[in-house]
Structure 1
Amino acid sequence: MSNDSPIKVGKFEGFSWIRCEGKGSFLNSPAMKEFGESRIKSGESCLVIDLEACTGMDSTFMGTMAGLATRIAEKNGALQVANAGEKSCHSLEDLGLDFLMEINPGNSVWHDVAEQAQDLLKPKIAGMKAGTVLHTRHVLEAHEILADANDGNKKKFSAVVKMLGDELEEKSGKAR
């Protein structure tokens, strides 16, 4: 993972916080996914993804966010996006992801303690490395989630999903 775009995380009373500093990408989205999934499995009902220091997001990062939003919603929880600027809001809305997550909610359990929470976050490094079969599977899954989000996305991401599926099949064959 690149040190210029770390993911920082923290567990708090009533919510868990994930902060992206720099670009949200295929390189640091595995760290976000690992922490988010572990918190959902532990019974967390509110995941907060803080985009205040995020300079942009690629499709893998947004697909990973959408996957976490879907998984926590299945457990009657919510993924809330904090401090999303105009660019981030537009990117999420353009892919129809604003229907899966709450963007900049005004009334939230964390609203009054956001600054204190940010000060207590710790860096999270993903257990998977770019270029591995596991990482390719992660990127493919993120794009499949985006493609399934709506019909417009299906068209946008069909070539990427096919290419990644072929790449994964080739890598899996070589790994045997």
Structure 2
Amino acid sequence: MNTPSTRILVGQVGRVFWMRVDGKGTHLNSLQARNAFQGVMARGVHDLVVDLERCPMMDSTFLGMLTGAALSVKKDASGGTLSIVNANQRNIQLLTSLGLNHILDLDVEGRLWASERAQAARALKICEEAAACSKEVQTQHILDAHQTLSGISDENECRFRDVIDFLEKELHAQTASSPVPA
């Protein structure tokens, strides 16, 4: 689900899947972005670019989703990459302080994917909305994102421990209160 002022634009530019975040990258649109990444990776696309030129900030859920996508393409035998382009100083600081610059390509000089940059504007379309999901599914997604983010460094594990504990309790409470299917 997009926030009112955020759009996720996606498109194929040659062998590259290009995603532009127009607005804030948050827990409200990270499931949509994750689904888009999973869809193209399932079709064999292994080079992913996230364009943050119009993204003023990202929350930890969105950052965790990016971490998961970066780890997925790194694990792939085809040697794919997840590149971040056009990030502002705030987002660069977030990505580096959490150690994501060690698992994805953070292009601060504007050198990566030079020929694809011009083509991207013509190729992008609004990303398909994530299907409506239950509170449990959304909470599980947020928990997964934070666990992934905390798994890349001891610092992150300490930083997100309380959030993860809270989300685990929240998920347990949601699951306990859900009716059991007959």
Which residue number in structure 1 is paired with residue 73 of structure 2? 72
The answer to whether the 8 Å contact 1:16/1:48 transfers is yes
1:33 equivalent to 2:34? Answer: yes
Which residue number in structure 2 is paired with residue 143 of structure 1? 146
Q: Deviations over 1:109-157 (max 9, x none)?
A: x32131321232111212244x611111110000001111100011110
Amino acid at match of 1:73: K
4+ residue segments displaced more than 6 Å: none
Q: Cα offset for 1:6?
A: 1.4
Paired residue for 2:120, among 117, 124, 143? 117
Which residue number in structure 2 is paired with residue 154 of structure 1? 157
Which residue number in structure 2 is paired with residue 126 of structure 1? 130
Q: Deviations over 1:60-118 (max 9, x none)?
A: 0000000000001111211000111211110100101110100117554x321313212
Residues matched between the structures, number: 174
Q: Deviations over 1:39-79 (max 9, x none)?
A: 11111120001100001000000000000000011112110
Amino acid at match of 2:147: E
- When structure 1 is superposed on structure 2, of 31-40 and 131-140 the one drifting more is 131-140
Report the secondary structure of 1:171's partner residue: helix
Identity %: 32
Q: Deviations over 1:150-176 (max 9, x none)?
A: 000111100100110111111122223
TM-score scaled by length of structure 1: 0.93
1:59 equivalent to 2:93? Answer: no
Report the secondary structure of 2:130's partner residue: coil
TM-score scaled by length of structure 2: 0.90
RMSD: 1.5
